A and B are shown apart, each in its own frame.
Chain A
Amino acid sequence: MDCICTELNVILYIEKELPETEMLQMEQHFAHCAHCRHLLAQHRMVRLTLERASGIQVPADFSARVMAGLPSPYHRFLTTAREKIIAAAAAIVMVSLGVFTYLIGSLGQNFGSPLSLQWWNRVLVQTFTLAVDTFIVISDLVGILVSVALFLGQGLAFVMETLGRLLLYSPHGLATLCLSLAIFLASLSLTKRYGHARTLRTAQPGRQQR
């Protein structure tokens, strides 16, 4: 039998996914091929049965069950940029107030009335001292980080130097160097390719198109 109707073509014909010329060819073929007409009828039946299937039924109280498990009202925490800025500003104000009241509290006992010039002078000195101390702590932390980075840098330089000596002074040094570079570039391009694909897939879950 010389049939142009593969099973896939029959399905594509039903779904009207074939080019117009092939649709016409199929129609002409169905007119005189009983085998393909039978196949067409069966696939139409499968499609119709699938379309008419209403699926499994859901209990009438399902949505009530879901709703019973939810808190009310809706709980959310710092979801928008505006809310985050307001929260950060509020936190800064609270910390400033805390520091200020601490200074007032500690100084109030030793320097008498806050209305005196001496009291305010002392508050300014204390505040400045606190700011300097904070700066010193931050500088120390940065210093530690820089030291660690330098240490790592030195280690890396040592490794590179050793590697360089090995490559240049060994009999096949240049070839090994070229091979290493090729492997490095290949792995870089592969990482870029698959990393990009993964990012795209996760970043676009369902645009509003049909």
Chain B
Amino acid sequence: MKQSPLHPVNKSSENAAQEFEQHAINRVLGGDSSAFEDLVKRYEKPIVNYIFRFIQHYEESLDISQEVFMKAYYALNTYNSAFRFSTWLYRIARNTAIDSMRKKQLNLRSIDEPQTSQDREMFYQLPTTDASPEARLRNREFVQNFQEAVQELPEEYREVITMRHINHCSYLEIAEICQIPIGTVKNRIFRGRELLRKRVEDKI
């Protein structure tokens, strides 16, 4: 399984990551704003991905992510270091995304519409590897169908699947961010994967 630097399984590297974050936070609170960039770089991809699952619009997701980091910056003195920083940040991201959806009444994009932005393609980028266990993984059509199937999932499943499999959050962390019991988290992930398998099978 690919390890994310954000959520390492190794306990010592996890502690090191938390120490790094706490050090950066202390520097920011001490007046060194530039230290906040370390935190932004660490979390920009997970946060943008997470928000994209709600908004389904690339540029809008970037704008909202930027707003999330701004909010986190201004509220940094209220962050309690007894808790995990990532959980706190995801909570801000979740609330901001939901508020934004309510305010702007965003029109969700059709899944048939190509998700491109000026000069780049987005979404899943499966790494090509010679040791790939399945020939289908190398198949571009399969990848396209798969990402469409993910987009078609109900929001509650898509959110937890993104957090678990793309952002590599633990079940407990997802439960705390979404404020649902851990059993519900697992249930949604497994149910989402069932739906995903069925939809991928239908499409192929």
Contacts and interface: CB of A to CB of B under 8 A. Distances in A.
Interface of A: 7-8, 11-12, 17, 42-43, 45-59, 62-67, 69-74, 76, 79, 201, 204-210
B142 to A, nearest CB: 8
B49 A55 contact: yes
Interface of B: 1-2, 14, 18, 28-34, 36-37, 40-41, 44-46, 48-49, 52, 58, 61-62, 65-66, 69-70, 73, 76-78, 82-84, 86-88, 91, 120, 122-127, 133-134, 136-137, 143, 146-147, 161-162, 165-167, 170, 172-173, 176-177, 179, 186, 190, 193-194, 196-197, 200-201
B124 A55 contact: yes
Contacts of B18: 208
B88 A67 contact: no
A72 B134 CA distance: 51
A55 B177 CA distance: 20
A55 B45 contact: yes
Given A51-B165, A74-B33, A210-B172, 16 more contacts: A42-B197, A42-B201, A49-B143, A49-B146, A52-B137, A53-B166, A56-B48, A57-B45, A57-B120, A62-B65, A63-B40, A76-B29, A204-B176, A205-B87, A205-B91, A207-B176
B165 A11 contact: no
Nearest to A209: B172
A8 B44 contact: no
B2 A52 contact: yes
Contacts of B165: 47, 50-51, 53
A66 B2 contact: no
A56 B122 contact: yes
B36 A62 contact: no
A58 B68 CA distance: 15
B47 to A, nearest CB: 9
A207 B125 CA distance: 33
13 contacts: A11-B193, A51-B1, A54-B126, A57-B45, A62-B40, A66-B69, A70-B33, A74-B28, A205-B87, A206-B83, A206-B91, A207-B82, A210-B14
Contacts of A52: 2, 126-127, 137
A206 B126 contact: no
Given A205-B83, A208-B18, A210-B173, A46 B33 contact: no
A207 B86 CA distance: 11
B124 A58 contact: no
A71 B124 CA distance: 35
B197 A53 contact: no
Contacts of A49: 126, 137, 143, 146
Contacts of B32: 73-74
B87 A206 contact: yes
A208 B193 contact: no
Nearest to B33: A72
A66 B133 contact: no
Nearest to B52: A56
Contacts of B48: 55-56, 58, 62
Nearest to B73: A70
